[in-house]
């Protein structure tokens, strides 16, 4: 019985095709086949580097079926490179199922490290990097987004999300509504010709986004963590809002006025927090909700 082949988890460029390691190129050249999220996109990368290894598709719509086929190839001694459209496979991209099943079946799995959008953005953002929390793409449904943001309101670590360009303005507004004013960074088109980093308070980023006709390129969105000195205050505000909503004796505007006066925040900020606190617990659990997006930004 032949020795099993190795599954190589290979990171590929997030934009600039030259951002790939020499070792990754050697592996892509040497393996029996490459399992790619988009064979056309990976094909262009291989052509750019003069590699002609066989490609097979492996994406979110066929990964359950294709996983069994690839495991059989590994079991009979073939070597396989797993790649996503950009960045590191299985990080907000297809790949977890294959890697998990390979490990469960005792097959060798070897990482070939390289580009990752979350690490790339963190390295240039200017926010604390000693501890951070990566959250992938925000949930598509409003109720789930609000619940996620509420759970993170007192998180002290730097927060990192991926988001699509046509939804980023809405999400920045939602984050500001729950967190209040924070310093944040938007990185887009990283490593490409039109690479851009937008830095500033959430309110300034929102004005900048709303003032632009079109935002192109997938976005990495980073938000500073809650200062420890402010964490207790934020929790107290949330408790006060929850009590006011439960008592139901005041309208939202009146409650916002009282919260703003008591805690030294703007009425608009208080009102947004009230709406967020009201929406989050009342939404039903979104059974069958769409999976988080997984698009080419790892």
> Residue ranges per domain, the chain?
7-115, 116-298
Cα angle 253, 254, 255; round to 5: 90
Structure tokens at 277: 């606190």
**Per-residue pLDDT, 163:** 97
Residue 288, Cβ density class (10 Å: 0-12 exposed, 13-18 middle, ≥19 buried): exposed
Give the pLDDT confidence score for residue 286 in this predicted structure. 44
Contact criterion met (CB below 8 Å) for 258 and 161 = no
Strands, sheet with 219-223, edge to edge from the N-terminal-most edge strand: 132-134, 158-163, 219-223, 183-188, 196-201
Q: How far apart are alpha carbons 277 and 245 in whole angstroms?
A: 9
DSSP states along 237-276: HHHHHHHHHHH--S-HHHHHHHHHHHHT--HHHHHHHHHH
* CB distance 116 to 88 below 8 Å: yes
Q: In terms of DSSP bridges, do strands 7-10 and 109-112 run parallel, antiparallel, or are they unpaired?
A: parallel
Contact 128, 225 (CB under 8 A): yes
Angle, to 10 degrees, between the axis of helix 142-152 and the axis of helix 267-282? 120
Closest CA to 294 of 46, 42, 61: 61
Domains 7-115 and 116-298 share a fold: no
What is the share, in percent, of the chain residues with pLDDT greater than 70? 91
Dist. CA 285–CA 181, nearest whole Å: 29
Place domain 116-298 in its CATH homologous superfamily. Tetrapyrrole methylase, C-terminal domain (3.30.950.10)
Look up the pTM and report it: 0.79
Check residue 229 and give its pLDDT.
57
**95, 82 contact by CB (below 8 A):** yes
Going by pLDDT thresholds of 50, 70 and 90, the confidence category of residue 85 is very high
- The token pair at 128 is 């604390």
Q: What is the pLDDT of residues 219-257, one digit of tens each?
A: 999 999 998 656 556 777 888 888 888 888 788 888 888
pLDDT of residue 230: 62
Whether the pLDDT of residue 104 is over 80: the answer is: yes
Architecture of the domain made up of 7-115: 3-Layer(aba) Sandwich (3.40)
Average pLDDT, the chain: 90
Contacts of residue 294, defined as CB under 8 A and 6 or more positions apart, other chains included, come to 60, 92, 93, 94, 136, 137
């Amino acid at each position: 019985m032949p020795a099993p082949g190795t599954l190589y988890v290979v990171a590929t460029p997030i934009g600039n095709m030259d951002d790939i390691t020499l070792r990754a190129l050697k592996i892509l050249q040497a393996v029996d086949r490459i399992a790619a999220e988009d064979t056309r996109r990976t094909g262009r990368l291989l052509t750019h580097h003069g590699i002609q290894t066989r490609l097979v598709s492996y994406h979110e719509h066929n990964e359950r079926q294709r996983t069994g086929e690839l495991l059989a190839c590994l079991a009979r001694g073939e070597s396989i490179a797993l790649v996503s459209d950009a960045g590191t496979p299985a990080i907000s991209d297809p790949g977890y199922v294959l890697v998990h099943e390979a490990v469960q079946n005792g097959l060798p799995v070897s990482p070939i490290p390289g580009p990752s959008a979350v690490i790339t953005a963190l390295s240039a953002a200017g926010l604390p990097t000693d501890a951070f929390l990566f959250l992938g793409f925000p949930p598509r449904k409003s109720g789930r987004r609000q619940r996620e943001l509420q759970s993170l309101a007192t998180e002290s670590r730097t927060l990192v999300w991926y988001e699509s360009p046509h939804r980023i303005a809405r999400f920045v507004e939602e984050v500001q509504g729950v967190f209040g004013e924070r310093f944040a960074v938007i990185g887009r088109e990283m490593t490409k010709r039109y690479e851009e980093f937008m830095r500033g308070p959430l309110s300034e980023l929102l004005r900048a986004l709303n003032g632009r006709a079109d935002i192109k390129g997938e976005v990495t969105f980073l938000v500073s963590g809650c200062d420890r000195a402010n964490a207790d205050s934020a929790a107290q505000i949330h408790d006060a809002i929850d009590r006011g909503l439960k008592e139901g004796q005041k309208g939202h505007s009146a409650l916002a006025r009282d919260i703003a006066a008591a805690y030294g925040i703007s009425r608009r900020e208080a009102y947004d927090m009230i709406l967020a606190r009201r929406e989050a617990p009342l939404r039903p659990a979104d059974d069958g909700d769409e999976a988080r997006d997984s698009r080419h930004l790892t």
